[in-house]
Every structure is written in structure tokens, then in C-alpha cells.
């Protein structure tokens, strides 16, 4: 039990979620290392949602709302930290959720399927009995995708993704949105919209934005997407890192 008075309470709470997911068997072994890297970057941006992150979130939500088949790709870490919030966002923007793992095992897929179904999201994709296709006929795990999900989607939100996967999706012509605390990662650089923020802050904020943007006309949303420059926004995100007190 973590005392609420602890100065690092929020951070310890997230660690606890990661540890519990590991004990339950759906976190990748290196999920803890990935979390630690994320923590370090979060610390450097002051553990707050920055202005460039907010701007990227507005554009991301606009792109998802404009999309014909939006999909949120989930892995062990994203599910450990924000499963309920991801479901809320998916419901708000009518997106599908697909399990897609870097360190894929049938057991982890089974446990994650159960996690989403137990939370009431029965339409979870990427399950063991799903219809799987290979993007651009690349026969490796990183290119495998659900036929009705990522395979046929136009816009994909890939939080905490690894660079290989982002590259395959990008090359196949899909619109890629990422949430990654590291503005220098291959995924951040490769994506169309990179949200440099902690997934636990970003996803609920995006749901709020979706409620606001849902009734806006298409032209307004398209202008937001077209005016956005991810490279420029990433530079601004990098400038948010403070190495001095
Ligand atoms: O569940 P699996 O098998 O798909 O594996 C998931 C991990 C995350 C282990 C796998 O995709 C991986 O190894 O990823 P990387 O290459 O470590 O990249 C993860 C990125 O997410 C890093 O750039 C981290 O800085 C970032 N990150 C970590 N925690 C958070 C985060 N970004 C946003 N919010 C976080 N809480």
C-alpha cells in the first residue's frame, strides 16, 4: 500500500500497475525497462502535459474522427497503465482496439483478450481466433494484423510502440499517431502525429478533446490536420526537456 502523502505517489502508483501486470503475466519482460525509460523522460518534462503535446493531441483526435476505420493498437504496457481509459476513448471516437504485441506469445494474447472482455470491450481484435493478414506480404510478427482492424485501417493510434512496427505501418501508407515520451525515438520521428506525453495523461485528455471536436464540421478538422507539422512540433517537444532547475 503506497501512502498518498508520498511525494512520488503518482509515479509509484504507475509502477505498481506495471508490477501487477507483470505478475499477472501480460506484461512483456522488458516492459519494465520500457516503463523506466518513459519515467525518465517524463521526469525531464516535469511530469506535465506540455503545450506541443496538447497541440498534437488535438490534431490526433481530428485525424481519428476523420478516419474511416480508426484502430487503437494495444500492448502490455499500454493495457497495464490505461486499459479503461483506452476503452473510453475507443467508444468516444468509434475506434476498434487491437492487441498487437512486440514480444508476442499466445498466453499473453489470451490474457489481454480476457482483460478487455472483462472490462466490457467484447469487440477486441488481434485475438487468437481472429483472422490475421500480413501487411504488404511481410511474413513476420511485426507485420501481422487483424484483417478487419489494423490491416484495413487508415489511421492507427500506436501508444508506446517500437520503431520496427511503426516503420512497417508507415511504409504501408497508413496514418500513424503515437504516444511516446521519448521525442527522439524512431517511432516519434516516423509517425505523422507524435504526442510526447505519458499515456496516462494523454488518453483521458484525448477523450475530452473528442467530446469537443465530435460536432465540428469536417473542413475544420481537415484544416487542423493539414496545418500540423510533426517535425516542428517534435522540436518544440524536445525543447520542453529541462536539464537545469
Ligand atoms: O507488450 P509488448 O510485447 O508489445 O512490448 C511492449 C514494449 C513497450 C516492451 C515494446 O514495445 C518495447 O520494447 O518498446 P520500446 O522500444 O522500449 O519503446 C517504448 C517507448 O515508450 C519508449 O520510447 C518509452 O520512452 C515510451 N514510454 C514508456 N512508458 C511510457 C512511454 N510513453 C508514454 N507513456 C508511458 N507511460
The DSSP result for 109-135, as a single string, is: HHHHHHHHHHTT-TT-BS-TTS-EEEG
The DSSP element (H or E) to which 51 belongs, if any, is helix 51-66
Is residue 210 within 8 A of residue 93, CB to CB? The reply is: yes
Average pLDDT over residues 143-160: 95
What's residue 164's pLDDT? 86
Average pLDDT over residues 59-79: 98
Query: Which atom belonging to ligand 1 lies closest to the Cα atom of 104?
Result: 3
Residue 39 pLDDT class (50, 70, 90 cuts): very high
Is residue 204 within 8 A of residue 54, CB to CB? The reply is: no
Average pLDDT over residues 28-52: 97
The more confident residue out of 1 and 17 is 17
Find residue 178's DSSP bridge partners.
158, 194
Ligand 1 pocket member 26 (CB < 6 A): no
Neighbours of 167 (CB within 10 A): 16
What's residue 192's pLDDT? 97
Ligand 1 pocket member 185 (CB < 6 A): yes
Ligand 1 centroid to residue 165 C-alpha, Å:
12
- Best residue among 13, 34, 189 to mutate for probing ligand 1's pocket (most ligand atoms within 8 Å of CB) is 34
Nearest to 121 by CA among 76, 72, 166: 72
Of the candidate CATH numbers 3.40.50.720, 3.40.50.300, 3.40.50.12640, 3.30.1540.10, the domain formed by 51-242 belongs to: 3.40.50.12640
Distance CA 29, CA 114 (A): 20
Nearest to 161 by CA among 90, 83, 73, 89: 73
- Best residue among 11, 22, 48, 160 to mutate for probing ligand 1's pocket (most ligand atoms within 8 Å of CB) is 160
What's residue 210's pLDDT? 98
Ligand 1 atom 1: the closest Cα is on which residue?
A: 76
Distance CA 168, CA 203 (A): 24
Residue 6 pLDDT class (50, 70, 90 cuts): confident
What's residue 13's pLDDT? 95
Average pLDDT over residues 166-182: 95
Ligand 1 centroid to residue 215 C-alpha, Å:
33
Distance CA 88, CA 104 (A): 25
Distance CA 88, CA 21 (A): 20
Average pLDDT over residues 188-210: 97
Nearest to 41 by CA among 223, 179, 229: 179
Query: Which atom belonging to ligand 1 lies closest to the Cα atom of 100?
Result: 4
State how far the alpha carbon of 3 is from the alpha carbons of 25, 31, 43, 109, in Å.
26, 25, 21, 33
Query: Which atom belonging to ligand 1 lies closest to the Cα atom of 181?
Result: 32
Ligand 1 atom 15: the closest Cα is on which residue?
A: 162
Is residue 221 within 8 A of residue 58, CB to CB? The reply is: no
Predicted confidence (pLDDT) at residue 244 exceeds the cutoff of 80: no
Average pLDDT, the chain: 95
Average pLDDT over residues 149-160: 96
Distance between start and end Cα atoms, the chain: 31
Ligand 1 pocket member 76 (CB < 6 A): yes
Ligand 1 pocket member 21 (CB < 6 A): no
Amino acid at each position: 500500500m503506497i501512502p498518498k502523502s508520498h511525494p512520488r505517489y503518482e509515479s509509484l502508483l504507475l509502477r505498481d500497475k506495471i508490477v501487477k501486470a507483470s505478475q499477472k503475466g501480460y506484461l512483456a519482460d522488458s516492459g519494465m525497462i520500457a516503463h523506466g525509460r518513459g519515467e525518465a523522460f517524463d521526469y525531464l518534462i516535469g511530469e506535465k502535459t506540455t503545450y506541443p503535446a496538447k497541440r498534437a493531441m488535438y490534431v490526433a483526435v481530428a485525424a481519428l474522427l476523420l478516419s474511416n476505420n480508426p484502430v487503437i493498437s494495444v500492448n502490455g504496457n499500454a493495457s497495464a497503465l490505461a486499459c479503461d481509459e483506452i476503452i473510453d476513448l475507443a467508444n468516444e471516437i468509434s475506434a476498434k482496439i487491437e492487441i498487437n504485441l512486440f514480444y508476442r506469445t499466445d498466453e499473453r494474447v489470451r490474457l489481454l483478450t480476457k482483460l478487455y472482455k472483462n472490462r466490457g470491450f467484447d469487440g477486441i481484435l488481434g485475438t487468437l481466433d481472429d483472422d490475421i493478414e500480413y501487411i504488404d506480404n511481410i511474413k513476420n510478427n511485426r507485420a501481422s494484423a487483424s484483417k478487419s482492424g489494423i490491416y484495413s485501417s487508415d489511421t492507427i493510434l500506436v501508444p508506446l510502440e517500437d520503431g520496427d512496427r511503426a516503420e512497417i505501418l508507415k511504409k504501408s501508407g497508413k496514418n500513424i499517431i503515437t504516444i511516446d515520451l521519448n521525442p527522439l525515438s524512431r517511432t516519434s520521428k516516423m509517425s505523422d502525429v507524435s504526442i510526447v506525453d505519458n499515456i496516462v495523461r494523454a488518453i483521458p485528455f484525448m477523450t475530452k478533446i473528442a467530446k469537443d471536436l465530435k460536432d465540428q464540421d469536417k473542413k475544420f478538422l481537415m484544416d487542423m490536420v493539414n496545418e500540423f507539422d510533426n517535425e516542428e512540433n517534435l522540436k518544440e517537444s524536445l525543447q520542453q526537456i529541462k536539464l537545469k532547475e
